[in-house]
């Protein structure tokens, strides 16, 4: 019986780790489309500061997000600590689906997983509650580097759960040069033509074009975004393809020499091939923050705060990081992190490297400009 339970738990962990790759393809890929179609719903449901109905201090709360996107013991430990409370995970695969779900049914969940730059869209819908930080003292354990935008203490509509950054990897046995920046990649692109892959996701690709041009990754200036797209079109003839899944597989098997990728994915790839080098580009990186957003129609926000505070205990947060194999946003839990993650310079970079990361802001109506330029890149 114990063996069967362990096998089931191992399967859940494996499924969660596979979601690391699969879920990223949905990040803001159609941001403009749903934002436009739901525009008429703005502030239709409730005051954005919270639900005025009587709040229950116990019960079951529902999280909408990716299946198994949780530490393998987090919920069981929460139930043990608070027998009258529980957390139910509801699979809503894709950020656009989650936002659409709340636009149609604002009572669907009590809190939801998003990227921070999409929180504005829930604010516009009038369903994003303000986090009661007084009831979540353990959120102080999250490092200040990851408390930006709506996850910052001055304007908290969400809490940061994890983060990632986009750089690139290369095979040192296939690439003769030492690459340190996106500019370096552009310089050698012709030499390694047909052996380079980029992500098939506009925010990371156009964002990289903006970085190479020395611009903000949140630019909505039509001329600036067009020049960034031109930079991508410049390198496109040397790309093997834009990839959706198995992002670093080509690096592992040698069919690709250089690949735009995420930090955690390169860490996984290095376990299969020691010749893979991660580059945190000196000219900058596009980053993302995963966050939990409380919904103001919830009648159990006190339970949401209770779970947030429980989750951000160092040992509990370490369970989340260890299960998913991701970067930790908390220095206080380092002693509880598995050595392969805790000792990774990729997942635990220096402050100087973290300062290279740009986190995007909501594009608003500017999303249409990005959509148009992405279509132009695809057609080129």
Tokens (6 digits) for 351 = 């402050």
How far apart, in whole angstroms, are the C-alpha atoms of residue 98 and residue 112?
8
Q: What share of the chain is helix, strand, coil (3-state, %, to 5)?
A: 45, 15, 35
Query: Which residue stretches of the chain are H helix?
Result: 2-22, 31-37, 74-81, 95-104, 119-125, 182-188, 202-212, 222-235, 249-253, 263-270, 301-311, 314-324, 339-342, 351-354, 367-379
What DSSP element (H or E) covers 294? strand 285-294
CA distances 239 to 186, 243, 258, 310, Å, are 11, 10, 10, 46
Q: What does the pLDDT read at residue 51?
A: 52
Handedness of CA 63, 68, 70, 76 (dihedral sign): positive
Please name each of the domains of the chain with its CATH number: 2-163+288-338 (3.40.190.10), 164-286+361-379 (3.40.190.10)
Interacting residues of 376 by C-beta distance below 8 A, sequence separation 6+: 229, 233
Question: What is the mean pLDDT of each successive set of 10 residues along the chain, which is 380 residues long?
Answer: 45 44 41 37 44 79 94 98 97 90 95 96 96 98 96 94 96 97 98 97 96 97 98 98 92 97 93 96 96 97 98 98 94 94 93 95 94 96
Maximum distance among all alpha carbons in the chain?
Answer: 66
Helix, strand, or coil (residue 7): helix
> Can you list the positions of beta strands (E) in 128-256?
159-171, 196-199, 239-243
- Burial (CB count <10 Å: 0-12, 13-18, 19+), residue 163: buried
- Burial (CB count <10 Å: 0-12, 13-18, 19+), residue 210: buried
Q: What does the pLDDT read at residue 17?
A: 45
How far apart, in whole angstroms, are the C-alpha atoms of residue 108 and residue 125?
14
How far apart, in whole angstroms, are the C-alpha atoms of residue 219 and residue 171?
32
Q: What does the pLDDT read at residue 27?
A: 39
């Amino acid at each position: 019986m114990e063996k069967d339970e362990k096998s089931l738990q191992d399967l859940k962990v494996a499924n969660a780790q596979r979601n690391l790759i699969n879920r990223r393809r949905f990040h803001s890929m159609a941001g403009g489309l749903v934002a436009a179609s739901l525009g008429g719903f703005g502030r239709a449901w409730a005051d954005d500061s919270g639900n005025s109905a009587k709040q229950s201090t116990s019960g079951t709360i529902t999280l909408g997000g990716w299946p198994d996107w949780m530490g393998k013991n987090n919920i069981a430990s929460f139930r043990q600590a608070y027998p009258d409370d529980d957390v139910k995970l509801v699979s809503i695969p894709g950020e656009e689906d989650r936002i659409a779900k709340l636009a149609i049914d604002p009572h669907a969940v009590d809190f939801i997983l998003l990227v921070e730059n999409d929180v504005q869209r829930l604010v516009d819908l009038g369903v994003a509650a303000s986090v009661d930080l007084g009831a979540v003292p353990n959120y102080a354990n999250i490092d200040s580097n990851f408390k930006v935008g709506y996850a910052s203490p001055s304007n908290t509509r969400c809490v940061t759960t994890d983060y990632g950054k986009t750089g690139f990897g290369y095979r040192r046995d296939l690439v003769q040069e030492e690459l340190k920046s996106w500019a370096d990649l552009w310089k050698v692109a012709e030499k390694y033509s047909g052996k380079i892959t980029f992500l098939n996701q506009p925010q990371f690709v156009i964002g990289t074009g903006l970085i190479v041009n020395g611009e903000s990754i949140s630019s909505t200036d039509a001329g600036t975004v067009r020049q960034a797209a031109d930079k991508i079109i410049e390198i496109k003839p040397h790309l093997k393809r834009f990839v959706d899944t198995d992002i670093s597989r080509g690096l592992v098997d040698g069919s690709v020499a250089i690949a735009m990728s995420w930090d955690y994915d390169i860490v996984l790839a290095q376990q299969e091939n020691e010749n893979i080098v991660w580059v945190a580009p000196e000219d900058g990186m596009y980053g993302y923050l995963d966050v939990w957003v409380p919904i103001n129609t919830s009648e159990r926000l006190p339970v949401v705060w209770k779970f947030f505070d429980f989750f951000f205990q160092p040992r509990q947060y370490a369970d989340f990081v260890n299960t998913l194999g991701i970067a930790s946003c908390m220095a206080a839990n380092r002693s509880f992190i598995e050595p392969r993650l805790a000792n990774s310079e990729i997942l635990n970079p220096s402050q100087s490297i973290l300062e290279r990361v740009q986190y995007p802001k909501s594009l608003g109506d500017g999303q249409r400009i990005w959509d148009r330029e992405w279509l132009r890149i695809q057609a080129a």
